[in-house]
A and B are shown apart, each in its own frame.
Chain A
Amino acid sequence: MICVATVRSPTARGSVRSIRFPKLPAGYRSILPADIPGRNAIVSFGAEVPILAQDKVSYAGEPVALVAGPDPVLLEELVASTKVACDEEEPQLAWESFSSDQVVAKRIAVVGDPELAFSIAASVHEDVYTSGAIEHYYSEPQGAASAYDYDKIAVWCATQWPYHVRDSVALALGCRAEEVSVRPTRLGIHLDGKLWYPSLLACQAAIASIVCGRPAKILLTREEDFRFTPKRARSSVNVRAGLGKGGELSAMDVRIAINVGAYGPLAEEILSQAVLACTGAYACPNLRIEGYAVATNTPPMGAFGGLGSSHAFFAMEAHVNRMASAMGEDPADWKSRNVLRKGSRLLTGEPLKEEVPYEAILARLVASSDYRRKYAGYELVRKRRSGRADGPLRGIGLAFAYQGAGAFLSGDSSNSYTVEATLDKELSLRIFTSAAGGAGGVRDVWRGIAAEILGIEPDKVTIATPDTDQVPDSGPSTLSRNVSIVAHLVERACLAIQKRRFRDPLPLTARSVHRVPRPIRWEGGQVSGSPFDTAAWAGTVVELELEPWTLEPHPLGVWICVDGGRVVAPGRAAASLRSGAADALGACLIERVDPTASPLAYFRYALLPLEDLPPIHVDFIEPSRRAPVKGIGELPFDTLPAAFISALSQAADSAFASLPVTPARLIGALGVR
């Protein structure tokens, strides 16, 4: 097998003038865009990302050529001695204020008459909420390998979306999709960091193996992965809200800017998700929402534990808490009056089809965290405090949000998703799905569902290896779709087998297909379509204390209560929520990425040490046995940041609106007092 190393652009913006390789030893060769047999691009949600930048480069570190050879150490030296000459242009790095040529996606939604509503509002509250980039810190750096397998090209990589890899490789090689076989490897925890980027590396590995006529692998170093692969997009959300005399939400004007970096491969979807979550879990009759996905000359930015809704939930929930606090009201009470109810109109005009379990969730949270007493007590201390040494600097925050049922909102690249199941003569069930490469917990959910329907032991249910030659396309493993969509498909396939089980001879095979629903349509400020049929709902409480002299925030406790429909494996679901909460807390406290910072930033990046985590309590609202299984994985990222910033604002008696909260910001707000 030969190794492949990447020659990268030294400049953030410009055009490549020349690439001068050192004298390559025998057995080594360079690969340029002209060597690509098919199309030099991968396509993701309509956006194209070049496999090797040909003329223009759009970010520092963009791949411009490959060098292939047997010795990875020598390859490193050869790449280091390769000279890439570029005609440099001024990079576009600004994104909170941007020019029109930077806009790669735009969404505008208007409901009612927001101007009139603002003019008669009793009070208007405005603020800007920003959240920073976050590194996925998945377990293993990205990589791919490729080799001929008789009449096919086989590709191995850890991917959330095997069929996207297959189609991308076929496009790059100029062959039919059936001539490519993708064999996903262990994925680990990815937090949506392995959604589309593995397709790019798979294309590079496949091209190298075709050009060199040998099996080839490309494996990024952890440093390369940190510096040049997608991170969570940064966002800035300007929220202006008008309240009526009774404190009811009467008007909102929201402007979202999301920095999607170069090319914006997920821009359409991220922006749609963010805009549709802009009103949070609240009803508002008059709205104006503008959303912009802004391209900059930084590596492509994108998803992180969801595709954009967390940006909007953070801003809305933090703003709601601030408005209620300014009116001298407990945010829990304000939310109770303004939360969506069954039949409430969503942004698209569709009525909400289910009850919102806000009161049930709040009651659980209040009972477990003592939220109401603590909130009232900390408010009293905050108002009477004369300096930072005067009493404990404590705060508590509450946030409430939902997670939709996993549909893509910007239109889907595929028409349908399929799962197949076969019950054999030994009464063993085998499930065939391309989504099987994900975390082990979801496979237990499928096993549990299948075993219950067919009346067999869970260990008689096996999941087929997700080789694209063997399994049907079940879509990308994101937005908790493996639970919200694939689990339903497993359920339907098993029901179909059970129906025929005592009528037809074994083995029995059934396929179930999920038709992609009508996508959301955006036309002249009007939005139509159904953002979700059903949703999981969650509330989170965060309590923290500021150390009075170092001003370090110390979380004292996190309480999460979820209505996630039928919970098939409660232990695993709770563990998933606790680890999500730990990650979300780390993102609030210490995790920060500056895409323009020095390469040394990589060495400073760290996750929150386990010993610094507070107790994390997870509680579920018990649903009926007939309730659907819902995705809940994003909920900690949707709720915890807003609860954290509200708690911090109360503790510090200072309005924070940006995450992560750096020590400099805290000292700026509190240090002089």
Chain B
Amino acid sequence: MTVSFILNGEDVSAKARSADRLSDFLREAFALLGPRSDCRCGHCGRCLVFLDGRLVPACLVPAFAVRGKEVVTIEGFSQTADYSDIAEGFKSAGVESCGFCAAPRIMAASALLERHPRPMPREILEYMSCAPCRCTDPEAIVRGVVAASELRARRLYRRAGQ
């Protein structure tokens, strides 16, 4: 079947098999290697994408289910100002990432800040648990998201003033 949807801001369409998962579909049909197809049961969070603005594990979404919807992967998200705030916040707080959990963590931080612009440490850690990884220094993660929230607030304040 042909699936048409908006991917990272562009109208796209590609052929998918009925059993294809969105994570595999994005990698194979669009060569987007950001979402990884790892545990295939929604545990590991390596395949997180925004589907109509909601953070979902792409391995649990059938490819055909995104027809007419909007999908944003880390490749698309990395072009946004939100991404810059979070990446900058993580860097300033010394968040060390193994390279595999960085993308889902950044996307999870964005989803959290969208919902709670000034999150508490516990909320931060709850959100970050969506991409479990052994490389995690919880203290640095909290500092990183707090720093990102401040950068984001400053940017939104500046934009509102313009």
**Which A positions have Cβ atoms within 8 angstroms of B?**
73, 136-141, 186, 188-189, 191, 221-223, 439-441, 571-572, 574-576, 578-579, 582-583, 603, 606-607, 609-611, 613, 615-616
Could you list 15 examples of A-B contacts with CB < 8 Å?
A73-B19, A137-B132, A140-B100, A188-B99, A189-B135, A222-B40, A222-B41, A441-B96, A572-B96, A575-B139, A579-B136, A579-B137, A603-B43, A607-B132, A607-B133
A363 to chain B, nearest CB (A): 24
Residues A571 and B135 in contact in the complex (CB < 8 Å), given A140-B100, A610-B128:
no
Sample of 13 more A-B contacts, CB < 8 Å, known A137-B134, A609-B132, A610-B125: A140-B100, A188-B135, A221-B40, A222-B43, A223-B40, A439-B135, A576-B96, A606-B43, A606-B132, A611-B126, A615-B139, A616-B138, A616-B139
Indicate whether A139 sits within 8 Å of B98 (C-beta atoms), given known contacts A188-B135, A222-B39, A583-B134: yes
B129 touches A579 (CB 8 A): no
Q: Is the interface of B mostly helix, strand, loop or mixed?
A: loop
Nearest chain A CB to B120's CB is how many angstroms away? 10
Bound: A397/B31 CA distance, A: 51
> Which of these, A188, A583, A603, A610, contacts B100 with CB under 8 Å?
A188
Closest residue of B by beta carbon distance from A72: B24
- Please, which residue of chain A has its CB at the minimum distance from the CB of B122? A611
Q: Are A189 and B134 in contact (CB under 8 A)?
A: yes
**Most chain A CB within a 10 A radius of its CB, from B99, B135, B140:** B135
Indicate which residue in A139, A611, A615 contacts B99 across the interface (CB closer than 8 Å).
A139
CB distance from B147 to the nearest CB of A (A): 14
Is B10 on the interface with A (CB-CB < 8 A)? no
**Is B68 close to A, CB under 8 A?**
no
List chain A residues, Cβ under 8 A from B133.
Answer: 139, 189, 607
Output the nearest chain A residue to B133 by Cβ-Cβ distance: A139
Q: CB distance A575 to B126 under 8 Å?
A: no
B38 interface contact, C-beta 8 A: yes
Write the B42-75 contact mask toward A (1 if CB under 8 angstroms, else 0).
0110100000000000000000000000000000
A605 closest partner in B (C-beta): B43
Is B152 located at the chain interface by the 8 A CB criterion? no
Find chain B residues with CB under 8 A from A613 CB. 125, 138
| Residues of A close to B96: CB separation below 8 A | 439-441, 572, 575-576
- Provide the bound-state CA to CA distance between A439 and B43, in Å: 24
B86 at the binding interface (Cβ < 8 Å): no
Nearest B residue (CB) for A188: B98
Q: Are A603 and B41 neighbours in the complex by a CB distance under 8 Å? A: yes
Chain B residues at the A interface, C-beta cutoff of 8 Å: 17, 19, 36, 38-41, 43-44, 46, 94, 96, 98-101, 122, 125-126, 128-129, 132-141
Identify which of A189, A222, A576 contacts B38 (C-beta below 8 A).
Answer: A222
A610 nearest CB neighbor, chain B only: B125
- Output the least CB separation between A588 and chain B (Å): 15
> A137 CA to B99 CA in the complex, in Å?
15
* Set of chain A residues within 8 Å of B136, measured between Cβ atoms: 579, 582, 610
* Residues of chain B contacted by A575 (CB below 8 angstroms): 94, 96, 137, 139-140
In the complex with contacts A139-B100, A186-B99, A441-B96, A610-B141 CB distance below 8 A? yes
Q: In the bound complex, how far is the Cα of B142 from the Cα of A615, in angstroms?
A: 12
Cross-interface CB contact of A140 among B38, B94, B129, B132, cutoff 8 Å? B38
Residues on B with beta carbons closer than 8 Å to the beta carbon of A611: 122, 125-126, 129
A579: chain B residues at CB < 8 Å are 134-137
Q: How far is the CA of A583 from the CA of B134 in the complex (A)?
A: 6
Collect the chain A residues with CB atoms within 8 Å of residue B140's CB: 575, 578
- The answer to whether A607 touches B41, judged by C-beta atoms less than 8 angstroms apart, is no
Q: How far is the CA of A189 from the CA of B132 in the complex (A)?
A: 12
B74 to chain A minimum Cβ distance, whole angstroms, is 15
* CA A254 to CA B85, docked complex, whole Å: 56
Q: Is the CB of A609 within 8 A of B129?
A: yes
User: Whole-angstrom distance from the CB of A244 to the nearest CB of chain B?
Assistant: 43
| Chain B positions within 8 Å of A572 at CB level | 94, 96
Smallest CB separation, B26 vs chain A (Å)? 16
- Which B residues lie within 8 Å of A574 (CB)? 137
Shortest CB-to-CB span from B125 to chain A, Å, is 4
Q: Are A139 and B141 in contact (CB under 8 A)?
A: no
- With a cutoff of 8 Å between Cβ atoms, the chain B residues found around residue A616 in the complex are 138-139
Q: How far is the CB of B45 from chain A (nearest CB, A)?
A: 11
In the bound complex, residues from chain A placing their C-beta under 8 Å from that of B46 are: 139-140
> Does the CB pair B132–A439 fall under 8 Å?
no
Residue of B nearest to A191 (CB): B134
Bound Cα distance A440, B19 (Å): 38
Measured between C-beta atoms, what is the minimum distance from A10 to chain B in Å?
23
Complex partner residue of A610 from B43, B98, B99, B138, CB under 8 angstroms: B138
B residues in contact with A439, CB < 8 Å: 96, 98, 135
Task: Give every chain A residue within 8 A of B128 (Cβ-Cβ).
Answer: 610
Which residues of A lie under 8 Å from residue B99 when comparing CB positions?
A: 139, 186, 188
Q: A189–B125 Cα gap in the complex (Å)? A: 20
Complex-state Cα separation, A607 to B128, whole angstroms: 12
CB distance from A239 to the nearest CB of B (A): 29
Residues in A whose Cβ lies below 8 Å from that of B132: 137, 606-607, 609
